[in-house]
Structure formats: structure tokens, C-alpha cells
């Protein structure tokens, strides 16, 4: 995302405490692609484009003073907030992981909101939320973009209509933090006039973007382990390496999905169209299509010839669910997303290419793939 904004001509400053790298060390996991240090990556971007991205090692949850000082100094027009522990299964792995997820995510979000309000700046805050905030039981409803119209009868018998934040039913501690984030955004928008867009995003798939392709040192993470590997990426790597595709439970769980390249386009769109001061928080459902897990497995199996294996579901989640999502905002901007039917085959080839890096690459660009 930082590279995309830099290419579009923005002056980009990164705040990163390296938490994802630390979690890898603790879990003994690694991205399939080799992820260079942040200074190396920013150096590569500069080598290739002449553009500079500044970075600061600041823990947003722990170091409010540094965050506040930096915002007063930078006075950003846009803040894109990704600074949260992002894996649902990680958050459910242990009490410690769940508590870290709550402590980190809520404190980071609230510190950003407080620092904006306290420093008197007026940036548009764009937050990466999650479709899972709603819960996965749409039960005949089309999940709206954040708000549910309700009609109630007042004490005088008159009908009252209003829109309320959708009363979500998150299925993990991680999704619960995104549901609580929503309340913090609503409060600060109402109380301090902060301008906020919350993107309720589906499961991301794919690895490379236009910018990361220009140099192997810029490649994105490709996680394929049980905690950070999302379902499509796991199926792709299982297909490529000839391991049965691990469908959890019945496979009739339905989720929303979006390709990483389309995610960048959607976030860039959101930043170009900020809400006004005094508006309620804008919610956009950032989803290209909904699909069941067994359908994705069938597509990957057809592409790779690898069989599907239904394994006991290690997660506590509804066995199967319907999912109908309102994506009016994205369809309204003429969004033509990558869909599995046509884009999955080329993506599998891309991942294969990442496993077999060109000979001139300086150092190993890919790691050995072990059974995830």
C-alpha cells in the first residue's frame, strides 16, 4: 500500500514496530517469500523509482507520545491504519494471543484517534476492518454497508426510524476487536468531528502487486501456515506442492474475497473520496465476490490435479453459512475485480514462479516449502 501511494506521488511515512516479524520468530514460521528488512525494502524502492519513503519504529499501542509528536510534525492528509494483529486463528490460539490482540488492536486504534483529536489536525483516517465483524450468518439479509435501518415505536405511539451500526456477532477475538474499533470510530467522529472510513474487507488472496513486481526485494509476504495463511493462499501452495487441499469441516462456509491488487485499488479509491467533517463513519464492504470454501478447493483442484481432503475443522465457526453482501459502493465506482473463475489460474502460475526465482536473484528469493 505504501508503494502504491508513493507511486501515485504521495509523501509516505510508515510507522511500523515489526510486530509481524516478531510473531514469526515466536511461532517458528516464515513467509514463503523472502522478506528483507524494512530499510532494505525502502532502499530497493528508492533504487528503482528515485522515491523515498520515511519510516519510524513506533509502537502505536505503547508509545502515544511519539505518535502524537509525529502526527503534529507530519500533519498527514491521510492515515491508513493497518496497525493491528490481523489473524483470526492466531487470536484464538491461546489466552495470551487473544489478550495481545485486544491490547494491541484497541490501544493502537484509540491512540491514533486521540492523537488526531489532540493535535488538532484533520486527516482522513482509513481503517482496514473486516467483513467478519458482521458475523457470518446473514440469515436471509443482505449485509449492509455498516448500518442497519431500524423502525421502532416511540412512547407516544409514533414510528421512529433510524440507522444503527450493524449489531455484529464476531466469531473470533480478532473480529471482536474490529467490532469494538467501530464503536471507537463512531464516538470520535461524533465527538471530535473526525473523518473516518472503515473498510469491511473479506479474505485477501494473491501476493504480488504492480509495485512489488519491479524488484525481488519488494515482494510481499506469502503466508501458508495454519495461523496466518488465508484459505486461498493455502490451497494454492498445497496444489503446487501436491498436498491434498485441506478443507475444514464441510467446506460449506462462505466468505467474501478480494485479490490483493484490487484491495489496493479500493483503498486508493477510499482515500480519494473522504467523508466531510461531521459525517458519520463511512463503511464500505471491500469484497469482490463471495464463495464457499469447497468451491475454491474445487477450482484449485481442477487447476492443479490435487485431490481435496475434508479434515476436522480446527476452528470454532458455523459449520456452513449463507453470505450475501451489499457492495454498492465499489460497484458504483465501476470496480471490475479479479474473480476466481478467471484469475485463479494466473495467480497459481505467479506463485509457482515465486518458488522458482530467476538465477540472477541476489540470495534466495524463496524458502523451502514445508507441509503447512
Residues of this chain that bind ligand USQ (CB under 6 A):
86-89, 130-132, 202-203, 230-231, 234, 246-248, 253, 255-256, 293, 313, 315, 317
Shortest separation between residue 3's beta carbon and ligand USQ, angstroms: 21
Shortest separation between residue 86's beta carbon and ligand USQ, angstroms: 4
Residue nearest to ligand USQ according to CB distances in the complex: 132
Give how far the C-alpha of residue 19 lies from the chain's centroid of Cα atoms, to the nearest Å. Answer: 16
Shortest separation between residue 34's beta carbon and ligand USQ, angstroms: 22
Shortest separation between residue 102's beta carbon and ligand USQ, angstroms: 15
Task: Give one word for 102, left, alpha or beta, with left for phi > 0 and alpha for psi -120 to 50.
Answer: alpha
Rounded CA separation 164/123 (Å): 25
- Give the cell for residue 23: 510473531
Phi and psi dihedrals of 293, rounded to 5?
A: -60, -40
Please answer whether residues 339 and 206 qualify as being in contact, where contact means their C-beta atoms are separated by less than 8 angstroms. no
Closer CB to ligand USQ, 44 or 203, in the complex: 203
Closer CB to ligand USQ, 15 or 143, in the complex: 143
Closer CB to ligand USQ, 70 or 88, in the complex: 88
Rounded CA separation 3/209 (Å): 9
Closer CB to ligand USQ, 187 or 248, in the complex: 248
Give how far the C-alpha of residue 226 lies from the chain's centroid of Cα atoms, to the nearest Å. Answer: 17
Partners of 256 in the beta sheet?
290
Shortest separation between residue 299's beta carbon and ligand USQ, angstroms: 14
Closer CB to ligand USQ, 20 or 107, in the complex: 20
Rounded CA separation 56/17 (Å): 8
Closer CB to ligand USQ, 230 or 301, in the complex: 230
Shortest separation between residue 146's beta carbon and ligand USQ, angstroms: 14
164 contacts: CB under 8 Å, gap ≥ 6: 147, 148, 150
- Residue 172: strand, helix, or coil: coil
> Checking DSSP bridges between strand 282-286 and strand 195-201, what pairing results, if any?
parallel
Partners of 245 in the beta sheet?
308
**Cα torsion through 126, 132, 137, 140, rounded to 10:** 20
Listed residue (183, 178, 169) closest to 281, CA to CA: 183
Closer CB to ligand USQ, 34 or 254, in the complex: 254
Quickly count: other Cβ atoms within 10 Å of residue 310's Cβ. Answer: 15
- Give the cell for residue 128: 482496514
Shortest separation between residue 312's beta carbon and ligand USQ, angstroms: 11
Shortest separation between residue 79's beta carbon and ligand USQ, angstroms: 19
Closer CB to ligand USQ, 84 or 211, in the complex: 84
Amino acid at each position: 500500500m505504501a508503494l502504491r501511494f508513493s507511486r501515485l506521488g504521495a509523501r509516505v511515512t510508515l510507522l511500523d514496530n515489526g510486530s509481524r516479524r516478531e510473531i514469526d520468530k515466536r511461532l517458528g514460521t516464515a513467509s514463503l517469500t523472502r522478506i528483507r528488512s524494512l530499510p532494505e525494502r525502502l532502499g530497493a524502492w528508492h533504487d528503482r523509482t528515485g522515491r523515498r519513503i520515511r519510516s519510524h519504529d513506533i509502537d502505536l499501542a505503547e508509545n502515544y507520545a511519539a505518535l502524537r509528536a509525529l502526527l503534529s510534525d507530519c500533519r498527514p492528509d491521510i492515515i491508513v491504519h493497518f496497525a493491528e494483529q490481523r489473524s483470526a486463528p492466531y487470536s484464538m490460539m491461546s489466552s495470551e494471543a487473544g489478550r495481545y490482540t485486544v491490547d494491541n488492536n484497541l490501544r493502537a486504534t484509540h491512540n491514533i484517534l486521540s492523537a488526531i483529536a489532540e493535535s488538532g489536525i484533520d486527516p482522513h483516517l482509513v481503517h482496514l476492518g473486516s467483513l467478519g465483524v458482521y458475523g457470518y450468518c446473514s440469515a436471509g439479509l443482505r449485509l449492509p454497508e455498516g448500518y442497519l435501518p431500524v423502525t421502532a415505536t416511540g412512547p407516544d405511539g409514533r414510528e421512529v426510524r433510524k440507522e444503527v451500526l450493524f449489531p455484529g456477532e464476531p466469531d473470533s477475538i480478532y473480529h471482536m476487536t474490529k467490532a469494538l474499533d467501530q464503536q471507537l470510530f463512531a464516538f470520535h467522529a461524533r465527538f471530535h468531528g473526525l473523518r473516518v472510513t472503515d473498510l469491511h474487507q473479506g479474505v485477501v488472496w494473491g501476493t504480488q502487486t504492480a509495485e512489488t513486481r519491479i524488484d525481488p526485494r519488494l515482494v510481499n509476504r506469502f503466508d501458508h501456515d495454519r495461523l496466518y495463511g488465508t484459505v486461498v493462499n493455502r490451497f494454492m501452495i498445497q496444489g503446487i506442492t501436491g498436498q491434498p487441499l485441506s478443507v475444514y469441516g464441510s467446506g460449506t462456509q462462505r466468505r467474501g474475497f478480494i485479490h490483493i491488487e484490487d484491495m489496493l485499488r479500493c483503498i486508493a479509491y477510499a482515500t480519494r473520496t473522504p467523508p466531510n467533517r461531521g459525517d458519520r463513519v463511512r463503511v464500505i464492504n471491500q469484497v469482490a465476490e463471495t464463495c464457499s470454501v469447497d468451491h475454491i478447493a474445487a477450482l484449485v483442484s481442477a487447476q492443479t490435479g490435487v485431490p481435496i481432503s475434508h479434515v476436522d475443522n480446527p476452528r470454532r465457526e458455523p459449520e456452513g453459512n449463507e453470505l450475501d453482501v451489499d457492495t454498492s459502493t465499489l460497484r458504483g465506482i465501476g470496480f471490475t475485480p479479479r474473480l476466481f473463475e478467471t484469475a485463479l489460474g494466473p495467480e497459481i502460475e505467479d506463485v509457482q514462479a515465486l518458488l522458482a526465482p530467476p538465477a540472477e536473484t541476489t540470495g534466495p528469493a524463496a524458502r523451502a516449502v514445508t507441509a503447512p
